[in-house]
Amino acid sequence: YATARCDTPVTAYRLASEDLETLLEQPAFAKQVVFALTNEIKRQSQQLRTPLLQQQGLEYPVVPTSIAAAIESFYRSALNSWLNYRLTGKSAALFPNMHVQLPTRVLYINGFKLCRKLLDEQVNPEDYSN
C-alpha cells in the first residue's frame, strides 16, 4: 500500500473490491462504468492522433525556459549527489562542476526547443511525400 500525507483537510473515500464487484453485477451500474471508461479512452486517444510533424509548437519563452533549466540543473546535481551518497555511502560534492553542467544544460534545452521552433516555421511536412 502507498501512503500519502495531506496538509489540508480532506475527505477520503474507500471502496472495497467486494463492494465494487457487487456494484458491477448490477447491469445499469456496469453500463455506466463502461460508458465512462469508453469516453475517457476516446478523449485520451484524440490527444494522440495528430502526427508529430503536424503538431504546432507553442510560443517559446527563452528567458523563463533558461531560468527553469538552470534551477533544474542545480536540483538534478544535488539529487544525484545525494542518491550516490545514499547508495555508496561515500560523500561527494553537492554541486560538482556546475561551471560546466549549468551552461551545457541551458544550451541543449534551449537548442532543442529553438530547433523545433525553426523546423515548425521553415518546414512544411505537406511538401514532402511519405
Identity of the residue numbered 86: R
pLDDT digits (tens, 9 = 90+) for 52-110: 666 676 788 899 999 999 999 999 999 999 999 989 988 888 888 889 999 999 999 99
pLDDT at 2: 64
For residue 100 the three cell numbers come to 560546466
pLDDT digits (tens, 9 = 90+) for 3-20: 777 788 888 788 889 998
pLDDT at 28: 93
For residue 52 the three cell numbers come to 508529430
* 12 C-beta neighbours (distance < 10 Å), count: 6
Q: List, in sequence order, the alpha helices (H) in 5-97.
A: 17-24, 27-47, 62-88
